[in-house]
Amino acid sequence: MDRTIQLFPDVAAIAQHAAGIFVDAARQAVRDRGIFRVAMAGGSTPKALHAVLLSDSFRSQLPFDKMQFFFGDERHVPPDHADSNYRMVNETFFSKTPVKPDQIFRIKAELQDAEKAALDYEQVLKTKFTLKLGELPRFDLMLLGMGNEGHTLSLFPGTTALRDNGRLVVRTWVGKLYTERITCTAPIANNSAAILFMIAGADKAPALKAVLEGPYEPDQLPTQYIKPSNGKLIFLVDSAAGGMLSKNLATT
Ligand code: 6PG
């Protein structure tokens, strides 16, 4: 597996580096296939990346008209809700770009039945990636974060979303948050051309050490399920989250 782990002093430095990776991936995909398809992440860490992408030097390099935006997961709320991942990305990125609504494919988490929302998004992916039976979408880039107990996407420890049942997108009951989520499954993530984790904060240090240096126990630490089969895996980590890692594991 092509894995890189890099340590940075803070989120701002992670975002600067991530923006370079984002732009390079976009330009490369457009050169190769005329389109760049990226899965955006929720949570709070991506906001810093969005701000850097909007700055003059990066913005001018992005092929906005040839980009399609997807989501790795969504909270079970309408798109205008404070917890919505779509709302966060829209406010901090889409709304400040020339990207048109028909380039954005969000998860319809306003549907009361989360299973319907999952099946609907699965269909969106099948159509947009013109998938044949059994095929998986291949994102040019998937942005990911990690929770302090090792979850990524909405793949939480001990939940049914971790079972590989051939689905691309599933609804998942997250008991500890008393809520449903809708999430892409690990096989989709693992079919990406590149996966970029941005991980910041001291609360994540033990889980990150366990994910990268502990035994393979992915049902406890779902981030361990993320291992692209034919793609790059990049961890950009701040010094707080990376504080427990062994010296030789990461480059600075
Ligand atoms: C979500 C995410 C989730 C997130 C991590 C990290 O919907 O919350 O998709 O997997 O990436 O929890 O979140 P932070 O960036 O806020 O630490």
pLDDT, one tens digit per residue, over 193-226 is 999 999 999 999 999 999 999 999 999 999 999 9
Assess whether pLDDT exceeds 90 at residue 252: no
Minimum-distance ligand 1 atom for the alpha carbon of 200: 17
Ligand 1 centre distance from Cα of residue 32 (Å) = 31
Q: Whose CA is nearest to atom 14 of ligand 1?
A: 43
Banded pLDDT at 1 (limits 50, 70, 90): confident
Percent of the chain residues topping a pLDDT of 90: 96
Express each pLDDT in 86-113 by its tens digit: 999 999 999 999 999 999 999 999 999 9
Banded pLDDT at 70 (limits 50, 70, 90): very high
- 124 CB within 6 A, ligand 1: no
Max alpha carbon distance in the chain (Å)? 48
Q: Which of 14, 47, 71, 73 is the pocket-test mutation for ligand 1 (most atoms within 8 Å of CB)?
A: 73
Q: What is the pLDDT of residue 250?
A: 86
Q: Whose CA is nearest to atom 13 of ligand 1?
A: 43
Length of the chain (residues)? 252
Q: How many CB atoms lie within 10 A of CB 103?
A: 17
